[in-house]
Structure 1
Amino acid sequence: MGHMPVRRSTALPRASRSITIVMTIDGLPVTVTRKPIKNMYLRVARGTGEVTVSAPLRMRDGQIAEFVRSRQNWIAQQIARAQTRTLDGGCDSHCGDGASGVGGGQGEGTEEPHFLGWTDERKQQAAHMINAALPGLLAKWGPVIGRTPTHISLRIMSSRWGSCTPKTGRIRLNLQLGLMDPKFLESVLVHEMTHLWNTRGHGPEFQQRMDMYQPNWRQLKRELNRQPIL
């Protein structure tokens, strides 16, 4: 995806207050729908590998192209996965169109938000959302799991959603969870609180506990693992 001119095709008919065009960005066809939203979202359909962008009405072509180019490695990974599924004979019940992304979309595939870096405002927003949710979550899950953390810290993580130290009872959560669907924060917290039992890795004992506490944890984990860590 080298830097080549951006081309537009004619707009496709859509519902009122939305405009859809097809842009060719460095040889990649991208279906772009402008609508009355505040954020920009990039989506790759898991079944076909089709790339789509939802953007605010006033967003310029150049800004959209820059966003797509900035995520070219991620896009290539998602397209490769879609092609692999096709070669393997199609999707099973878990790889159909139905993932949700940051911002609460009811997606048609893996979705990534327009998010090019942390700002002080975004950090404060994420921390506020997590800190507001934690008391209720701890009150809900502490009695169920039988363990509560001695301390929870928030930090920007590049490769994981959370971690814990069973000996000290300390849990660390990825700050990005405060910008995502609340179900992911809850799922990660339950996961880390379960580790406070000092279970070894994610073996049978850990899985048995998770099955008991949160029967849909595997589905939540699959959804979470489709989200990019920013």
Structure 2
Amino acid sequence: MPGSTSDRSSGPLSAPGPVEVRRSARRRRTVTAYRESGRTIVLIPAAFTPAEERRWVAQMVAKLQTREERRRRSMGGDAELMARARALAAAHLDDVPRPTSVRWVDNQQRRWGSCTPADGSIRLSSRLRTMPEYVVDYVLVHELAHLLEAGHDARFWALVARYPRAERARGFLEGVESARADAADNGDAEDAGDLVD
């Protein structure tokens, strides 16, 4: 058995969802934390005492929250998102797509973004706020491309491919989707799969 896990409920640290501690005999000194399916996972060495575990869990949850808050601030509100979309359209899509609105929404749990070409509106899931900027930019380019090509045909993907980090961002999102699907298979998630449409 490479390690063991224990659950810690979120307390004064206000971590989103429960905190799960995973101990590993192979891990000697390093401590890692990340979010997975609504949980905060903290990986620690098996040899840590309960006091060391408490100290490191608190430190890593705080560090993760600080990083996520910094990303949220850098993404800004809807006005900043619109400016970002316009800059991406100019840089990668010949400045042709002209969205009428680009905004963050909290009600997209199965999609990263959506677009209504008829009225030019684009919506991005607020879950993207904690992800790297190049991933947010990819989703924006994807939705901007829908203002030019409604379906997912070869012309559409050629437009999306103009964004230089498209393949890397798709890989990142596929990894997130895979982790969510695995968690759903294990009964750990309410819904699995995130789509960009």
- The alpha-carbon deviation at position 129 of structure 1 amounts to 2.1
Match of 1:13 in 2: none
User: One-letter code of the match for 2:43?
Assistant: V
From 131, 138, 158, give the equivalent of 1:208: 158
Inter-partner Cα distance in structure 1 for 2:118 and 2:173? 27
Task: Tell me the C-alpha RMSD between the 2 structures.
Answer: 4.4
State the alpha-carbon separation in 1 of the partners of residues 154 and 119 from structure 2: 23
The structure 2 residue matched to 1:40, chosen from 24, 33, 54, is 33
In structure 2, the gaps of 5 or more residues are 7-21, 46-50, 181-188, 190-197
Say which of 192, 196, 200 aligns to 2:143: 192
Shift of 1:143: 5.8
Deviations 1:117-168 (A, max 9, x none): xxxx96x973662434652452242364210210012112211110100001
Alpha-carbon deviations, 1:80-135, whole Å to 9, x = none?
A: xxxxxxxxxxxxxxxxxxxxxxx9xxxxxxxxx78xxxxxx96x973662434652
Identity fraction in percent: 22
Q: What is the aligned partner in structure 2 of residue 149 from structure 1?
A: 99
Q: How does 1:37-186 map to 2 (within 5 A)?
A: 40-41=33-34, 53=43, 59-60=53-54, 126=72, 129-131=75-77, 132=80, 134-142=82-90, 144-145=92-93, 146-156=96-106, 157-186=108-137
Runs of 4 or more, structure 1, over 6 Å off, are: none
Task: Find the counterpart in structure 2 of residue 221 from structure 1.
Answer: 170
Checking the alignment, whether the CA contact within 8 Å between 1:142 and 1:148 is kept in structure 2 is no
Q: Could you tell me which amino acid in structure 2 is paired with residue 158 of structure 1?
A: Q
Structure 1 residues 187 and 58, CA, compared in 2 at 3 Å: closer, same or farther? farther
Shift of 1:198: 3.6
Relative to its length, the structure with more helix (as a share) is: 2
Cα distance in 2, alignment partners of residues 53 and 208 from structure 1:
40
- Asked if structure 2 preserves the Cα contact closer than 8 Å seen for 1:148 and 1:169, the reply is yes
| 3-state secondary structure, aligned to 1:135 | helix
RCO comparison, higher one (Cα < 8 Å, 6+): 2
Contact 1:130 1:177 survives alignment (8 Å): no
Which amino acid is 1:225 matched to?
E
- The letter for the 1-side match of 2:97 is R
Shifted more, 132-141 versus 162-171: the winner is 132-141
Output one character per residue of 1:30-75: Cα deviation in whole Å (capped at 9) or x when no partner: 436555xxx83269xxxxxxx98269x96529x69xx9xxxxxxxx
Change (3 A) 1:179 1:58: farther
Kindly indicate whether the alpha-carbon contact (under 8 Å) linking 2:44 and 2:53 is maintained by their aligned counterparts in 1: no
- Give 3-state SS (helix, strand or coil) of 2:90's partner: helix
Q: Please say if residues 24 and 30 of structure 1, whose CA atoms lie closer than 8 Å, have aligned partners that are also in contact.
A: yes
Q: 1:154/1:52 Cα in 2 relative to 1: closer, same or farther (>3 Å)? A: closer
Shift of 1:227: 2.0
- How many residue pairs are counted as aligned between the two chains? 143
Cα deviation for residue 174 of structure 1 reads: 1.1
The alignment's TM-score, normalised by the length of structure 2, stands at: 0.54
Q: What is the aligned partner in structure 1 of residue 5 from structure 2?
A: 25
Unaligned ranges ≥5, structure 1 = 1-6, 8-21, 44-50, 68-102, 104-112, 115-120
Structure 1: how far apart are the matches of 2:121 and 2:136?
A: 16
- Distance in 1 separating the partners of 2:101 and 2:110: 21
